[in-house]
Structure 1
């Protein structure tokens, strides 16, 4: 059942009645108001009820998972996708062999796939969805690597008293470096350059 017609004394009540029949929340449907409530002609008893049509939207995250499977199949890769709900969105974690092809150098391919996955999801949703794409916990491992790098470079700056310019990084990676060194009382960080060659500079305070 992809569409239902529902009625009620108000449009809101009609929508609630339709949602109850579909068993979903309002974020999963497209609502079309067919008739507004009104008094009947010549003041006859009763009120003309509101009528609405509710069309069930395809699950946006499922569409994204289907897209990922198509991409993986085209690359002759066998992957499974684990879905978990997060406070700020949905995490899709890829599992399988040869995931290095989907991750790419420093996660660049994974970032590109994540961008496309979010486009697919939001094309099928009437509210903004944020999907984070990961592969075998690559993002957590990358975060740990970047934090360790930040600490090493900060120590070098303190020892040599010379600023250090890091290699170009994505905005998300730069954010990890900034956050890690924010509590360091001896160094400061700032970004310079234009995307995609924007870099972090670590300098003495």
Structure 2
């Protein structure tokens, strides 16, 4: 995506999110920033707690709607992250820290380690963290909202030398 198109896309997404939260009756300000996954829309204001109740379910729902609306416009492997007052960023950091702990434990014990249940966004965060270590692999298991991530030592191919 060229720079002009990217700037236009950011404005369009920001306006869409701003209109969504306004339609919900929330007085919040939306702004965009770069994110490792693609684009982040940060919401700030006195009413963010409405989106953060019940472990951020409102924020998750808003992010799902935004990604559904713009799925075809996103580059392969990218997504739009919707955050409110740094809530998701803090949760992502906690999740990555937990993943690193379980990665170390998998190496130490040699046995698989399990984390979850996690939503699709959180599972992806764990998978990306595990992908940084060539000795480990990760796999989602389970159905629907009960999906978990299994972190295990990568099976080595034995060469026929």
Q: Same fold (TM over 0.5)?
A: yes
Contact 1:158 1:204 in 2 (8 A): yes
Equivalent of 2:19 in 60, 66, 70:
66
Equivalent of 1:140 in 83, 89, 103:
89
Q: Which residue of 1 aligns with 2:157?
A: none
Between 180-189 and 148-157, the greater mean CA deviation after superposition: 180-189
C-alpha separation in 2, matches of 1:88 and 1:184: 19
**Residues 36-64 of structure 1: CA distance to partner in whole angstroms, max 9, x if unpaired?**
xxxxxxxxxxxxxxxxxxxxxxx675344
Q: Which runs of 5+ in 2 are unaligned?
A: 155-161
Larger Rg: 1
C-alpha separation in 1, matches of 2:94 and 2:46: 22
Q: Which residue of 2 aligns with 1:173?
A: 122
C-alpha separation in 1, matches of 2:86 and 2:134: 31
Q: Which runs of 5+ in 1 are unaligned?
A: 1-24, 29-58
TM-score, normalization by structure 2: 0.67
Contact 2:14 2:30 in 1 (8 A): no
Contact 2:14 2:31 in 1 (8 A): no
When residues 186 and 89 of structure 1 are mapped into structure 2, their CA distance, relative to the original with a 3 A threshold, is closer
Structure 1 or 2: more strand by fraction? 1
- C-alpha root-mean-square deviation of aligned residues, in Å? 3.2
